[in-house]
């Protein structure tokens, strides 16, 4: 038994180092946003919330934050709605060209987003669609529908359809059956898809970088371009707010669904 203890210690220590590696950049950002210095330093020197109050002088970050949330929200709602409908067709119906449809809808996962961003920018400029929340939402729908469909298809596959026919035999119309029977059963897949869509859209830099204009700028693009010219702690306070926002979102979701459920339906 004694012989086994040392390797086990090394094993656990290795895993511990990996967890430190995973959390390092996030912890570094959160802590260095509290520095009193004019430059970014870790560990922070002194403690102040000055870089958070300083944000008042940077309304552009606030408007970008609002835009990002609007776009992510729109994307999540639309991508989940149309992705769920398409999943129903893919799982429950037989039709010609099903494989082609499945491959087409899955292909944004294979196409580098840079190339899609370039293609979309060229297409938008040809059809005359200027940078707008709508233009961003359309691009993000393409990026997120594959995730939504994966999650919803997974929750539809094990679905016991006899409860639907029971409801129909009892006189429920197709819409009623969908909203009162089908949707509640596949709820966790649908909600997980919605969360993924929201996060993917909120996080996207690559596609948005091509679509934004000077006055329509999402938060990741704002941070990216700001970083290229300045290196002050404002960035760390903005980033910290984003991290805290995500954590709060996760806690709410945890309360509603349970983490286990969200991730197991993956």
Partner 1 sequence: MQPVMGTEQDLLLKQKKKNLNRKRLDTWLLLLPTLGIFLFFFLLPLFFLFITSFKTFDPGSGIGSEWTLQNYIKFISDPFYLGVVWRTVKIALITTLVTIIISYPVAFQISKAKGRAKNYLTLLVLSPLLISMVIRCYGWVIILSNNGVVNNTLMSLGWIDTPLTLLYTEFSVVIGMVHVLFPYMVLSIMGSIERIDPSVIRASQNLGASSFRTFFSVLLPLTLPGIFAGSVMVFSLSVSSFVTPAILGGPQVKVMSYLTYEQVAVMLNWPYGGAIGFLLIFIATVTIIAYSKILARSEKGVAIQ
Q: Considering only residues 98-127, where is the footprint of partner 1 by CB under 8 A?
A: 101, 104-105, 107-108, 110-116, 118-123, 126
**CA end-to-end span of the chain:** 39
- Interface with partner 1 includes 209 (CB under 8 A)? yes
> CB of 133 within 8 A of CB of 71?
yes
Q: Site residues for partner 1, window 41-60 (CB under 8 A)? A: 41-42
Contact (CB, 8 A) for 233 and 39: yes
Name the phi and psi angles at 104, rounded to 5.
Answer: -60, -45
Closest to partner 1 by CB, 117 or 167: 117
Which listed range, 47-55, 156-164, 180-188, 235-243, lies at the site for partner 1 (CB under 8 A)? 235-243
29 binds partner 1 (CB under 8 A): yes
Does 5 engage in binding with partner 1 (CB under 8 A)?
no
Q: Which residues contact 89 (CB under 8 A, 6 or more apart)?
A: 95
Smallest distance from partner 1 to CB 23, Å: 8
Q: Does 24 bind partner 1 (CB under 8 A)?
A: yes
List the interface residues with partner 1, window 122-181 (CB under 8 A).
122-123, 126, 138-139, 141-142, 145, 149
Judged by CB under 8 A, does residue 25 bind partner 1?
A: yes
77-110 burial, b at 16+ Cβ within 10 Å, e below that, comes to: ebbbeebbebbbebbeeeeeeeeeeeeebeebee
Q: Of 34, 155, 235, 237, which lies in the binding site for partner 1, with binding defined by CB under 8 A?
A: 235
The window from 58-66, 69-77, 159-167, 234-242 that contacts partner 1 (CB under 8 A) reads: 234-242
Q: Which is nearer to partner 1, 180 or 225 (CB)?
A: 225
Of 132, 121, 138, the closest CA to residue 75 belongs to 138
Residues 74-93 that bind partner 1 (CB under 8 A): 81-83, 85-86, 88-89, 93
Whether the link from the prior residue into 43 is cis, omega within 30° of 0, is yes
Residue 104 vs 183, nearer CB to partner 1: 104
16 to each of 6, 11, 23, 47, 116, how far by Cα in Å?
A: 15, 9, 11, 28, 38
Instruction: Name the one residue in this structure whose structure tokens are 């909120």.
Output: 202
């Amino acid at each position: 038994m004694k012989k086994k203890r040392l390797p086990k210690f090394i094993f656990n220590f290795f895993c511990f180092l990996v967890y430190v590696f995973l959390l390092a950049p996030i912890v570094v950002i959160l802590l260095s946003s509290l520095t009193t210095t004019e430059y970014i330093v870790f560990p922070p020197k002194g403690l102040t919330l000055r870089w958070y109050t300083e944000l008042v002088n940077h309304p552009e970050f606030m408007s970008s934050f609002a835009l990002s949330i609007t776009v992510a929200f729109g994307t999540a709602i639309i991508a989940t709605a149309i992705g769920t409908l398409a999943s129903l067709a893919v799982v429950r119906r037989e039709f010609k060209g099903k494989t082609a449809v499945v491959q087409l809808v899955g292909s944004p996962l294979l196409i580098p987003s840079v190339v899609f961003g370039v293609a979309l920018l060229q297409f938008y400029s040809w059809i005359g669609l200027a940078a707008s929340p709508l233009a961003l939402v359309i691009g993000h729908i393409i990026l997120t529908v594959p995730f939504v469909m994966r999650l919803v298809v997974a929750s539809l596959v094990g679905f016991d359809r006899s409860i639907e026919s029971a409801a129909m035999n009892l006189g429920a119309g197709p819409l009623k059956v969908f909203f009162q029977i089908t949707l509640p059963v596949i709820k966790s897949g649908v909600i997980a898809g919605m969360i993924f869509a929201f996060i993917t859209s909120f996080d996207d830099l690559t596609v948005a970088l091509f679509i934004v204009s000077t006055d329509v700028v999402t938060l990741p693009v704002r941070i990216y371009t700001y970083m290229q010219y300045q290196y002050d702690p404002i960035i760390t306070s903005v980033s910290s707010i984003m991290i805290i926002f995500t954590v709060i979102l996760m806690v709410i979701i945890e309360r509603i669904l349970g983490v286990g459920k969200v991730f197991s339906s993956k």
